[in-house]
Amino acid sequence: MGGALHARPVTIVGGGVAGLTAAIALRRRGAQVDVLERAPAITEVGAGLQLSPNALRVMQALGLLPALDAVSLPSRAVVLREAAGAQVVRLDLARHRPGAPFRLIHRARLIEVLEQSAREQGVTIHLDRTVEIPPEAPLLIGADGLHSRIRAALNGREVPFFTGQTAWRAVIADDDDTPEAQVFMGPGRHLVSYPLSGGLRNIVAVLETRDWRDEGWSHPDDPANLRGAFAGFGGPVPGWLARVDAVHVWGLFRHEVASRWQDGRMAILGDAAHPTLPFMAQGACMAIEDAWTLAACLDATPDQPAALARYESLRKPRAARIVAAANDNARNYHLTGPKRLAAHAALRLGGKLAPGAILSRFDWIYDFDPVTEMS
Ligand SMILES: Cc1cc2nc3c(=O)[nH]c(=O)nc-3n(C[C@H](O)[C@H](O)[C@H](O)COP(=O)(O)OP(=O)(O)OC[C@H]3O[C@@H](n4cnc5c(N)ncnc54)[C@H](O)[C@@H]3O)c2cc1C
């Protein structure tokens, strides 16, 4: 099987993680790929990302692991802590899944690796090209993110709802590169931090609030608001927050997974198909999985409508399950009162008696191999 993509023209709207990974995966199978990106340059204001083994298997198949390893750090553990800093449980990722690492990377470095590979392989990237109405291409891929035009063309107008949570993100200079993610859990708020390569540290802080915030990643805020909201936190948090001099804030909205992913000519992937709350750190990872599966389905048969229908049927249930898991995690981090004490005690005990059991809850996310699934 395979070969159906040879010399086929493909137009991709959006040059983010989903669009560029799809461009590489399609090009490697012989397609003629054009990417239309609205930004005048592929530059990134994003912060850190955690890449889990499910996505890294795709990166390996695309030959991108050495380039990614050079600009990312391994992540060996996730440490859950009380707001004051005391450890609740340490989840040892490296021991639970030896040989299948997690990586911590600045989103800008990931985009650079993808863009360079796409260009080297002969993908044509057209910058400064905002798509308002889906172009009449025979195969059109919508990788145009949260407010996707292609999703709207397939599904009509949809209205997301505000979750009552806002999030700040910041990157600070920090020479502590202990390769683990730390989660500090307080009533109605939590803060996640991990190191990035190049002496940087990523901070994401989430607060339950009634204040409505715009959706989107790029709204600047006063660092004093972040410091105020997390003033009661201890451990290293006050020191980190004291060093924040630029911060962005955004409202967390819940979107349904798109009900229609394709119509035989157009298909969507990444945030265009399934925007997620950030609490499973799977937004970029799902986009990378989608890209591989989409290219493999299209390459397996010249029957484009059948290939796109297969792609949708393979990807939609998994995306919906991950988005639901991220919604649940939002609640778990923010418990208050007796529920919080009970949950933390259970985690502490679980961490002592059966640490693997806590991690095994998400084996279905991290052990998934999109590459062998399609081979
Ligand atoms: C600026 C930014 C920062 C982020 N930071 C984080 C983070 O810190 N942690 C995290 O977990 N996730 C973050 N995310 C989300 C995460 O990166 C996404 O879940 C994941 O990258 C999915 O990528 P995507 O390619 O589907 O969408 P996006 O990354 O949103 O990419 C969509 C691309 O399409 C382009 N585009 C949109 N509309 C049009 C149009 N009409 N015509 C042409 N081009 C268009 C956009 O300019 C963009 O380049 C961030 C996203 C953005 C945009």
In a domain, 90, yes or no: no
Q: DSSP string spanning 277-330?
A: -GGGS-HHHHHHHHHHHHHHHHHH-S-HHHHHHHHHHHHHHHHHHHHHHHHHHH
CA angle 295, 299, 302 (to 5 degrees): 130
Name residues whose C-beta falls within 8 Å of residue 98's C-beta, 6 or more positions apart in sequence: none
Q: Look at the chain and report how many structural domains it folds into.
A: 1
3-7, 41-45, 86-90, 309-313: range with lowest mean pLDDT: 41-45
- pLDDT at 117 > cutoff 90: yes
Other CB atoms within 10 Å distance of the CB of residue 226: 22
For 125, the domain range is: 9-75+103-160+255-333
Residues involved in catalysis: 194
In a domain, 270, yes or no: yes
Q: What sign does the CA torsion over 32, 36, 39, 40 have?
A: positive
Compute the distance from residue 16 Cα to the ligand 1 centre, in Å: 5
6-15, 35-44, 316-325: range with lowest mean pLDDT: 35-44
- pLDDT at 222 > cutoff 60: yes
Using the atom order of ligand 1, give the atom closest to the CA of residue 169: 8
Residue 357: the pLDDT is 74
Any atom of ligand 1 within 6 Å of the Cβ of 37: yes
Question: With pLDDT > 70 as the criterion, what percentage of the chain qualifies?
Answer: 96
pLDDT in tens, 224-267: 999 999 999 999 999 999 999 999 998 888 889 999 999 999 99
Mean pLDDT of the residues in the chain: 92
245, burial (CB in 10 Å: exposed 0-12, middle 13-18, buried 19+): exposed
In a domain, 189, yes or no: no
In a domain, 249, yes or no: no
In a domain, 204, yes or no: no
Using the atom order of ligand 1, give the atom closest to the CA of residue 19: 25
Name residues whose C-beta falls within 8 Å of residue 306's C-beta, 6 or more positions apart in sequence: none
In a domain, 140, yes or no: yes
Greatest mean pLDDT among 33-47, 94-108, 132-146 lies in: 132-146
